[in-house]
Structure formats: C-alpha cells, structure tokens
Amino acid sequence: MKSTVASAAFVAACVGCTHTDLPTNAPGHVEVSRAPGDLSLRVVEPPSDPGERMVLVGYGGFVGVGEQNSRGIGTTQAYGIGPEVSIGYGVGDTSHTEDEPLLGNGVLAERGIALNLGWTSLSSLGKGLGPLYAEVEFRRGGLIGVAGGWTWDPDDRTQGPQATVNFGPLYARVTTEIDLGTQVTLGIVLKGEHGFVWSR
C-alpha cells in the first residue's frame, strides 16, 4: 500500500507538470506616443512583458515522518502519508519561459492562493484511517507556501487545526486532533500540476 502511494505520487509529479497557454490578453505593452529614434531602421520594437495570471490544478501525494504527542501515550514517532489535490490562482510579474531546466513544462506563480484538499490516509495518530483536511495556502516566489486549515477524522470522530509550510517539494506540518494529540511531520510532497496561463 505504501509503495503504491509513493510510486503513484512520484509518477504523477514527474509526468504531470504541464500547462496550457491561453490567448487572452496576449498583446504586450508598447508606448505608441513615442517615435523610434531612427525611422530608417526596419526593426519592430519588442513589446514589454505584461506578466501573466494562472489557474493551477495540482494532484499528487505526500510522505512525512516526525513525532507526535498522543493523549495517554506520550511522545512517539509519527508518519503521515496520503493524497492531496489543489486548485489555485496566481500571478507573475514576468511571463514564463518554456523548457525551464528541471521544471519541464510547469509554471510557477510568484504570488498566489490555493485551496488544498487532502487526506492523511495513513497516519500514526489515532486509529484506522487518518483525517481529511482542507487548507488555504498562500504562495510566494513559486516555491514557498504557507497554509492553514482544518482537519476532520471520521474514524476517531475528532477534528482540529492544521498548518503547513511548503518549500518546493518539502513540507513541515503540524496537525492537532482535539482530544487525540498533535503530530509534527516533515516530508516530501510530490504533486503533478497543470496550469492554465494567460497574460495580464
């Protein structure tokens, strides 16, 4: 089960970084009130970059390990594994280029906000399956994300807050399930992502 989850997440992350360029607002910026310096040159002035906006749909999974403090048990080792999907909106001051090394066909938002829906299906906290969660994530610089949300565990009939900090594929997460305990995990989130990108 664990290897299947990890393999699926890895494959999704490797093959799923794609995007679609939309034609909306495609022209760049020019200053038509200013004449070129030399009218005899047959040169077209390259427009300046208007930047871009994007909607990003992500899908994949995460694997994290750490420690937890459970009521009546104390501090023990912890793990959390599960799938996560997200939908976000972002902007970039500069348009993306194609063929970014190691990024494939993916795009990154310089500033953005996203809704993450996940399920820590394999969790050391509580009994049975782990909690479902929903987070709102604020993204900066393409790689950094800070998220906060709420978890709900139907098996243990509990719920609680959750906070996550992402840096690229790495994350740190604190999950508290009221009356159950608190779990802190560090791990890797591997998510494929498809972006719909258009100019500003």
CA–CA separation, 105 vs 17, rounded Å?
A: 6
Query: Cβ closer to another protein: 43 or 73?
Result: 43
Instruction: Rule CB under 8 A: say whether 3 interacts with another protein.
Output: yes
> Within a 10 A sphere around the Cβ of 137, how many other Cβ atoms?
19
State which of residues 69, 70, 105, 121 lies at the interface with another protein (CB under 8 A): 105
CA–CA separation, 52 vs 47, rounded Å?
A: 14
Residues 29-48, one symbol each (x = binds another protein by CB under 8 A, - = not), give: xxxxxxxx--xxxxxxxxxx
CB of 159 to another protein, least distance (A): 30
State which of residues 28, 128, 141, 168 lies at the interface with another protein (CB under 8 A): 28
Query: Cβ closer to another protein: 37 or 74?
Result: 37
Residue 192: what are its φ and ψ, rounded to 5°? -75, 155
Burial class (CB in 10 A: 0-12, 13-18, 19+), 80: buried
> Within a 10 A sphere around the Cβ of 194, how many other Cβ atoms?
17
Query: Cβ closer to another protein: 123 or 176?
Result: 123
Q: Are 145 and 139 in contact (CB under 8 A)?
A: yes
State which of residues 98, 128, 167, 168 lies at the interface with another protein (CB under 8 A): 98
Helix (H) or strand (E) segment spanning residue 76: strand 74-92
Query: Cβ closer to another protein: 22 or 172?
Result: 22
Site for another protein in 145-184 (CB under 8 A): none
Nearest of 54, 9, 8, 96 to residue 194 by alpha carbon? 54
Number of residues that bind another protein (CB under 8 A): 47
Instruction: Rule CB under 8 A: say whether 21 interacts with another protein.
Output: yes
Q: Are 29 and 155 in contact (CB under 8 A)?
A: no
CB of 89 to another protein, least distance (A): 19
Residues that bind another protein (CB under 8 A): 2-4, 6-7, 10, 14-16, 18, 21, 23-36, 39-50, 95-99, 101-102, 104-105, 199
